[in-house]
Amino acid sequence: MYDNKNIFAQIIAGNIPCKKIYEDKDVLFFEDINPVSKVHVLGIPKVKCTNFSDFVLNYNKDIVANFFMKIDFVIEKIGIKETGYRVITNSGSDGGQEVPHFHVHILGGEKIGAKIR
Ligand code: AMP
């Protein structure tokens, strides 16, 4: 069950500030508050989804495809497409998910190595 009060829901609602990288009516990308690499951006769709499976199984294909295309758009926008990057999503307790709103981490700006977030 989706927690309407989770921190990313509050960021989408504008109740908590964030360092915005890109936003449109469907998606929001912003800097991670506790970066593990020189570039550490979080990307979230604005629908109420708890994790990766919830998002890809329960939302329409256009919404899902658009989100993944926007990840690529942001990777280009922040200038790490050529140098390389890592896109990660954590799910559930074994995955180490802290915030129960589906999100991706975009890591780059340096060699990521064994950092897995
Ligand atoms: P995860 O462990 O995949 O759920 O990652 C949650 C991420 O959200 C962590 O990398 C946190 O540093 C990040 N985070 C938590 N609160 C905020 C916030 N207010 N603004 C930006 N990033 C946040």
One-letter identity of residue 101: H
The string of pLDDT tens digits covering residues 3-46 is 999 999 999 999 999 999 999 999 999 999 999 999 999 999 99
The string of pLDDT tens digits covering residues 60-78 is 999 999 999 999 999 999 9
Rounded Cα–Cα distance for residues 13 and 115 (Å): 31
Q: Which atom of ligand 1 is nearest to the CA of 11?
A: 19
User: pLDDT value at position 114?
Assistant: 80
Answer yes or no: are the C-beta atoms of 32 and 108 closer than 8 Å.
Answer: no
Averaged pLDDT, 91-102: 97
User: pLDDT value at position 99?
Assistant: 98
Residue 32 Cβ < 6 Å to ligand 1: yes
Q: Tell how far the Cα of 58 is from the centroid of ligand 1, in angstroms.
A: 23
Query: String of b and e for 76-100 (b: at least 16 CB within 10 Å)?
Result: eebebeeeebeeeebeeeeeebebb
117 band by pLDDT with thresholds 50, 70 and 90: low
- Asked about 103 being catalytic, the answer comes back as yes
| Mutation probe of ligand 1 site: the residue of 91, 98, 106 with most atoms within 8 A of C-beta | 98
Look-up: residue for tokens 């280009």? 76
